[in-house]
Amino acid sequence: MSSGWPNLSDLVVDRHADAPVGLVGAPLDAGSVTPGRCDLAPALLRATLRRIGRYDVETGHELASLIADHGDVPVAGLSIEDATPAIVEACKASVMQHPLTLLVGGNNAVTRAGVHALGLPLDQVGLITLDAHFDMRDTSAGLGNGNPVRALRDDGMPGRNIAQVGLAPFANSLEMHRDAVDGGHLVVTMDQLRRSGIASAISTALQHVAHCRAVMIDCDIDVIDRSQFPGAPGARPAGLAVDDFFTAVRMLAAEPRVRLIDLTEWDPPLDSSDLSALTAARWVAECLAGFEQRPTMP
């Protein structure tokens, strides 16, 4: 234990250790709509964990779940198509070993790999996205960070298995919106979310995928208001408040069918301060806090 102040870095252990949570880095940056350095995110997140404490003064609970770090998947210089099998295998190994796996991108293309890593037929897997975008761009020109949801639909995931929360105005197209709704997606826009409240929106999303055996959560960090997370190239003004993001993550992580949660689209050099890094590292704390609320926890 760290002297004086227990922090999240205390909980990180070797990949072979007996731990309930796994961590996989996927520093993928190929195929980004806006080129950047999302590949730097996993390393900075790990370095920032020592700045996030384990004790939640609001609940009186101290985090205790160990995190087995499986390291980074070697994807440097690879296309999304070439990198995906390696990311799938790394995540699959973690999913088989731990009840919950945290996948740190890299760009949003890692989400498709995470879904396939669950090892189930796609009609049995649910996907909930916290994202300003539908990610339903056409795949005819290849895979990118703007089309993982479209690619999963092309792979055979039914639209009724997909819930998308936090869609932003003037950041999507009419065609994508129509395709999502016609395909059976649950669509919760930012205005709808504000009207209903974050807890209601997340409860509705979980109900939408209640028929699925396992669920993956995609936390595209650009869902957060840009002033509160400047390190996301796709973030816009009037996005999700960061406290609502934390609430959503904790609620989702508390669901036992959630086996994998990713964090994507964080481009560290875009933020000259440490605000984005601290928010990303707090994401880990919220994942653990939710996980430790699961009814199956001892």
Contact 165, 180 (CB under 8 A): no
Establish if 296 belongs to a structural domain: no
Residues in contact with 175: Cβ distance below 8 Å, sequence separation at least 6, in sequence order: none
Q: Which domain holds residue 65?
A: 8-291
**Interior angle at CA 71, CA 226 and CA 251, nearest 5:** 50
Q: Which amino acid belongs to residue 116?
A: H
Establish if 55 belongs to a structural domain: yes
pLDDT band, very low/low/confident/very high, at 298 (cuts 50, 70, 90): very low
Establish if 298 belongs to a structural domain: no
Contact 189, 180 (CB under 8 A): no
Per residue in 134-149, pLDDT tens?
A: 999 999 989 999 999 9
Gyration radius (Cα) of the chain, Å:
17
Per residue in 161-192, pLDDT tens?
A: 999 999 999 999 999 999 999 999 999 999 99
Q: What is the CATH number of the domain that holds 89?
A: 3.40.800.10
pLDDT at residue 35 in the model: 80
H/E stretch holding 220: strand 214-220
Per residue in 56-84, pLDDT tens?
A: 999 999 999 999 999 999 999 999 999 99
How many domains is the chain built from?
Answer: 1
Closest by CA position to 232, among listed 179, 289, 166: 166
Per residue in 284-293, pLDDT tens?
A: 999 999 999 9
Which residues partner with 214 through β-bridges?
A: 125
Establish if 1 belongs to a structural domain: no
Measure the CA–CA gap between 34 and 32, rounded to whole angstroms.
5
H/E stretch holding 83: helix 80-97
With a cut of 90, say whether residue 270 has pLDDT above it. yes
Q: Mean of the pLDDT values across residues 188-215?
A: 98
Establish if 199 belongs to a structural domain: yes
Structure tokens at 231: 């390190």
Measure the CA–CA gap between 174 and 160, rounded to whole angstroms.
19
Half-sphere exposure of 288 (CA within 13 A, CB side): 29
pLDDT band, very low/low/confident/very high, at 110 (cuts 50, 70, 90): very high
pLDDT at residue 63 in the model: 98
pLDDT at residue 1 in the model: 43
DSSP code of residue 244 = H
Measure the CA–CA gap between 158 and 133, rounded to whole angstroms.
19
pTM for the predicted model, two decimal places: 0.96
Establish if 3 belongs to a structural domain: no
pLDDT at residue 255 in the model: 98
pLDDT at residue 139 in the model: 94
Structure tokens at 283: 């994401």
Per residue in 7-37, pLDDT tens?
A: 999 999 999 999 999 999 999 998 777 788 9
Per residue in 229-252, pLDDT tens?
A: 999 999 999 999 999 999 999 999
Establish if 297 belongs to a structural domain: no
pLDDT at residue 296 in the model: 65
Contact 21, 288 (CB under 8 A): yes
Ramachandran bin of 105, using left for φ above 0, alpha for ψ from -120 to 50, beta for the remaining angles: beta
Strands of the sheet with 258-264, listed across from one edge: 12-14, 67-72, 21-26, 100-105, 258-264, 214-220, 125-130, 162-167, 186-189
Per residue in 271-285, pLDDT tens?
A: 999 999 999 999 999
pLDDT at residue 3 in the model: 53
pLDDT at residue 5 in the model: 85
With a cut of 80, say whether residue 131 has pLDDT above it. yes
Establish if 2 belongs to a structural domain: no
Residues in contact with 69: Cβ distance below 8 Å, sequence separation at least 6, in sequence order: 12, 13, 14, 15, 23, 46
